[in-house]
Chains A and B, each alone.
Chain A
């Protein structure tokens, strides 16, 4: 019996190591954006209201370099960032369930999204991806998060960051990418 896989949901998990990304500096940049209300959207009803402006920095560039180079050598796709932002979740907070494509603008939507854990206390939250497995709809895939963890997944996939059960804030960077 021969199997043909016509479609798949590819999720990549890695721990960013070796590079000199300055997580405290990235966290400070995002805290600064939070204090100054530098959000991607000023509409509190918008998904992007929780998304904080991420200023350009060497550490962010090094993160993009790390992902681009390692993903390219292993999977032969060069990820080109289109949009980036940060999120801070205080204790008891979680993210919205969302995806990153614009249904009416699929052509201009990203291919892959990645989430980098800038400062996340171990065992305090999970990346939860929602997916359908044929008629078994509404399945979820859970990946525990901690500092330096990286998750790459298709932008079409609905996901959320589960409730922060720790005592400290959890800080993330999200990047939408096209591949070439």
Chain B
């Protein structure tokens, strides 16, 4: 089963994700082809082929969870941004100071999230939230 992200009319945001049977993505040599899937979707949904971009169900933050080849950074979801220059899907920028890591297709804070899994006195894990004005991770 192939998955395709449907982009909005400005071709910038994901507005839906559709599944297509593998048999509808095969070219004349029986190889899976994105353009064949795009043409199939255009015919069914009346939405231009160029606004359907194939996405991988098992791709997350730049890697393939089953050890395969990652495709376009992340599995697309509604509201995600399509970046044709870097060929990736990513979420909206959470804070103005965060920068995009185009390899992993994620936004990164200027200060790394506390590592080592610090715990509270009762044994539960500490949770931190980003403080944009203080540029720090504050304990919740």
Contacts and interface: CB of A to CB of B under 8 A. Distances in A.
Interface of A: 17-21, 58-59, 62, 65, 69-70, 72-73
A19 B8 contact: no
Contact of B8 (A21, A58, A59, A73): A73
Contact of A72 (B15, B45, B46, B51): B15
A18 B47 contact: yes
B78 interface: yes
A18 B9 contact: yes
Contact of A69 (B15, B42, B46): B15
25 contacts: A17-B9, A18-B9, A18-B47, A18-B48, A18-B51, A19-B9, A19-B46, A19-B47, A20-B46, A20-B47, A20-B48, A62-B45, A62-B47, A65-B45, A65-B46, A69-B6, A69-B16, A70-B9, A72-B78, A73-B8, A73-B13, A73-B14, A73-B15, A73-B78, A73-B79
Contacts of A65: 45-47
Nearest to A20: B46
A59 B46 contact: yes
Interface residues of B, number: 15
In the A-B complex, the 3 residue pairs with the smallest Cβ-Cβ separation, listed nearest first, are A20-B46, A69-B15, A62-B46
> Interface residues of A: mostly helix, strand, loop or mixed?
helix
Interface in B23-68: 42, 45-48, 51
Given A17-B9, A18-B9, A70 B46 contact: no
Contacts of A20: 42, 46-48
Contact of A70 (B8, B42, B45, B48): B8
Interface in B2-27: 6, 8-9, 13-16
B55 to A, nearest CB: 16
Contacts of B45: 62, 65
Contacts of B46: 19-21, 58-59, 62, 65
Contacts of A59: 46
Contacts of A70: 8-9, 15
B52 to A, nearest CB: 12
Contacts of A18: 9, 47-48, 51
Nearest to B47: A19
Contacts of B16: 69
A70 B8 CA distance: 7
Contacts of B47: 18-20, 62, 65
